[in-house]
Amino acid sequence: MPSFDISSKVDLQTLDNAINTAKKEIANRYDFKGIHCEIDLDKKNYVLKLEIESDMQLKQAEDVIVTKAMRQGLDAKCFDLLKEPTGYGKYLRKEIKIRNGLEQADAKKIVKLIKDSGLKVQAAIMDDIIRVTGKKIDDLQDVISLCNTANLDMPLQYINMKS
């Protein structure tokens, strides 16, 4: 039976390259000259820590980071930019969580979307991936297009397609 897996993984090396490229651009930009800007990537917990002087510069730094990540091939949805920055002395600190792996609630949401679509496929949650099986490859391709058109607000990869 044909099957494929839905996952949401971020390649750590690609992310690290994007962050390093963003650091270089911020260090060379005229509007960031002489300004305290610190960017640290916690590779173990998938958290990006920003420390900067003003809110406007924080937004610009976020934009540079997301742009560089997209140029490296990462999806912009992998950055959780909704958390508000906190004040620390004369600096603003913000922790940006990087979405890596499907959480249980998100996996259930995707499985419900697939089952409500009426396609003749089975979807099962296996740790941090979803395995989708069906009788026809066309049904599996319909599931991929369904997931792409749905506004799920998370990066998805479709891997291990077997026929």
Q: According to the model, what pLDDT value does residue 20 have?
A: 96
Confidence of residue 88 (pLDDT cuts 50, 70, 90): confident
Residues 70, 89 within the same domain: yes
Picking from 48, 63, 98, the residue at the C-terminal end of a domain is 98
Secondary structure tally for the chain: helices H, strands E:
4, 9
Q: According to the model, what pLDDT value does residue 42 have?
A: 95
Residues 48, 74 within the same domain: yes
Let me know: does 29 contact 16? Beta carbons within 8 Å: no
- Segment 103-119, tens digit of pLDDT: 899 999 999 999 999 99
- Segment 117-150, tens digit of pLDDT: 999 999 999 988 999 999 999 999 999 999 999 9
Tokens 């891997």 -> residue: 159
Picking from 77, 98, 119, the residue at the C-terminal end of a domain is 98
Domain with 65 in it = 12-98
Strand partners, 40: 49
> How far apart are alpha carbons 145 and 12 in whole angstroms?
27
Mean pLDDT to the nearest integer, 19-41: 93
> How far apart are alpha carbons 102 and 128 in whole angstroms?
5
Picking from 71, 98, 125, the residue at the C-terminal end of a domain is 98
Total number of domains constituting the chain: 2
Q: According to the model, what pLDDT value does residue 152 have?
A: 85
Query: What is the amino acid identity at position 82?
Result: L
pLDDT at 163 over 90: no
Q: According to the model, what pLDDT value does residue 89 have?
A: 82
Q: Which pTM value belongs to this model? A: 0.85
DSSP strands (E only) in the chain = 3-7, 37-42, 47-52, 79-80, 86-88, 91-98, 121-126, 129-134, 157-162
Let me know: does 155 contact 148? Beta carbons within 8 Å: no
pLDDT at 95 over 90: yes
Residues 71, 146 within the same domain: no
Helix, strand and coil percent figures for the chain, each rounded to 5: 40, 30, 30
pLDDT at 3 over 90: yes
pLDDT at 162 over 90: no
Across the chain, mean pLDDT equals 92
Of 115, 104, 98, 117, the C-alpha closest to 155 is 98
User: What SS3 class is residue 9?
Assistant: coil
Q: According to the model, what pLDDT value does residue 14 have?
A: 95
Q: According to the model, what pLDDT value does residue 153 have?
A: 85
